Amino acid sequence: MEGQIELVDYLRQIGRKNFNILDYIPTGSEKAIRRSDLVKTCGLPDRYVRNAIALARREIPILNLQMGRGYFIPDMNDEEDRKKLIRYVRQEESRLKHIGWSLKSARQTLRNCGIDWRTEGEKKKQGKGKKKHKKDAA
């Protein structure tokens, strides 16, 4: 968002250039850590910890299975953790499916009103892959 400091910029500002949330999240569900404890351990605000987790999830699965036990990286050598990862994938796929159905009606409503949600409200940028028309050049 405009005007908000990004996580990387914030970490640089406080002198933590090599911060990696994965250094603080344990492997194995039995060692799960609550986010409030991550906040204390990392010394970062809750919002930044949540953002760091979201970014790290692009590289490695980090689970928090709504049981209140906390975040952990599944131990793929442990049968229970493998089952938890399967449950997590199914849960998130179901969530994705429900979001898709919700968006379908919202997109249809915008189309019915002649609104292209992908470009509405954006400033048109010239020179970024779009050809400049002769009448625009004048």
Could you tell me the pTM of the whole model?
A: 0.68
- pLDDT tens digits, 25-50: 999 999 999 999 999 999 889 999 99
- Rounded CA-CA distance 60/48 in Å is 18
Q: Residue 12: enclosing H or E segment and its boundaries?
A: helix 7-13
pLDDT at 65: 74
pLDDT at 104: 94
Q: Which residues of 65-100 are buried (b: 16+ CB within 10 A; e: fewer)?
A: beeeebbbbbbeeeeebeebbeebeeeeeeeeeeee
CB atoms within 10 A of CB 32: 19
DSSP string covering 60-104: S--B--SSSS-BBB--TTSHHHHHHHHHHHHHHHHHHHHHHHHHH
- pLDDT tens digits, 46-83: 999 999 999 999 999 999 977 668 999 999 999 999 99
- Rounded CA-CA distance 56/76 in Å is 18
- pLDDT tens digits, 95-107: 999 999 999 999 9
Given a contact cutoff of 8 angstroms between Cβ atoms, the answer to whether 32 and 69 are in contact is yes
SS3 of the chain: helix, strand, coil, percent, to 5: 50, 5, 45
